Amino acid sequence: MQKQYLLAPGPTPVPPRVLQAMALPIVHHRAPAYKEIFAEVREGLKYLFQTSQEVLVFASSGTGAMEGTIVNLFSPGDKVIAVRGGKFGERWSDLGKIYGLNVIDLDVEWGQAVKSADIAAILEREGDVKAVLMQASETSTGVMHPVKEVADLLRGKDDTILVVDAITGVGVFPLPMDEWGLDVVVTGSQKALMLPPGLAFAAVSDKAWKFNERSTLPRYYFDFAKELKNAQKGQNAYTPAVSLIVGLREVLRMVKEETLEGVHARHARLADAMRAGVEALGLELFAPDAPSNAVTAVRAPAGIDGQDVVKVLRGRGVTIAGGQDHVKGKIFRLAHLGYAGDFDVLTGLAALEMALNELGYDLAGRSGVRAAQELLK
């Protein structure tokens, strides 16, 4: 039997105590027992998102919350800026166009963070932009975008909101929704929340709820107002993923035990160690100027296909992620988010060294493991 190691940026490993909680006999979603569970979850989500707002929960992948944001807050013809710096930035653009929004694509070189000055220039030029749609952490490139800088641009602009895909941001690095003035923050269960795929979350500011009142796009399942009304009664509008909600309660308990500050510090520490290990091997980071603490994207060395690195590691029981679209084969990605600790980073680097050696890369006595250990000791 070959032991499996999951070091991809989603799905991520699920802690044993969370698996045990989800294995308990299922409860009915309209019974008092579920209402009690959901009440604890609702408060825990506010702590996680650092908001006083209700965090809406849907049975879907994170993309469901992204689509829900579009149909609940905008109307056909509304002008929005979509920051396209990777595969998931393109998703914001695609969703907006499908629903008839006037999408202004702000293309950013993959591996680079958006410049808030470029967003400011578009806002000044266009004048009637309803929203900026962006990622906190662009999972496909390992980039962290300057969310706070963009939020500061929109302070005082009652007719423009900031919508943030934080699917690999929430629970990884600070994104205090209320303090920074973020208007919509969405995430999914299978990243830092340490759960299987299947839950999507959306937190909506008072400013954004006013957009909901004016929106004319149709919606049914992803109806934010309907979900809010039910959540405030301790229920879900439709049948929830009950076992995942039970697991989420355990995850949120774990977050509170570690403290949110502790969770963020752990991710920063692991990310620093992974980056140090990669560079010690003579490899280049794909996003050296604005790396995300969720996942490290690495340029494949000359003469080696990044997809071959992924395949060799998979054959050894280690799952990482490759590049997408035009960077497929040019990069590979090692994650360190969620249920991750020191030995996950060291295992990933040790496996990487073995894979590179097998593919003919000359390590020249270099050790990524040793470099990481220096930061983790």
Give strand pairing partners of 52: none
Cis peptide before 11 (omega within 30 of 0): yes
The percentage of residues in the chain with a pLDDT greater than 90, rounded to a whole number, is: 99
Query: What is d(CA 189, CA 34) in angstroms, rounded to the nearest whole number?
Result: 19
Residue 377 confidence (pLDDT) above 90: no
* Position 274 pLDDT exceeds 90: yes
pLDDT for the residue numbered 38: 98
What is the average pLDDT across 263-282?
Answer: 98
Contact assessment for residue 350 and residue 247, using Cβ atoms and an 8 Å cutoff? no
pTM for the complete prediction? Answer: 0.97
Mean pLDDT of 262-271: 98
Mean pLDDT of the region 286-307: 98
Confidence of residue 137 (pLDDT cuts 50, 70, 90): very high
Position 370: which residue type? Answer: R
Read off the pLDDT of each residue in 115-133 and give the average, rounded to a whole number.
Answer: 97
Block residue for tokens 């050790």 = 367
**How far apart, in whole angstroms, are the C-alpha atoms of residue 50 and residue 61?**
22
The pLDDT, as a whole number, for residue 251 is 98
Q: Is pLDDT above 90 for 254?
A: yes
**CB-based contacts of 99: which residues, under 8 Å, 6+ apart?**
70, 71, 74, 76, 217
Looking at the predicted structure, is the pLDDT value of residue 1 above 90? Answer: no
pLDDT of 283: 98
What domains appear along the chain, each with residue ranges and CATH number?
A: 5-11+259-376 (3.90.1150.10), 16-258 (3.40.640.10)
Query: Among the residues of the chain, which ranges form H helices?
Result: 16-22, 32-49, 62-73, 87-98, 116-126, 147-154, 177-180, 206-214, 224-231, 242-258, 260-280, 306-315, 342-358, 368-376
End-to-end CA gap in the chain: 31
**pLDDT tier for residue 227 given thresholds of 50, 70 and 90:** very high
pLDDT in tens, 319-333: 999 999 999 999 999
| Strand-pair partners of 199 | 59
Is the pLDDT at 127 greater than 90, yes or no? no
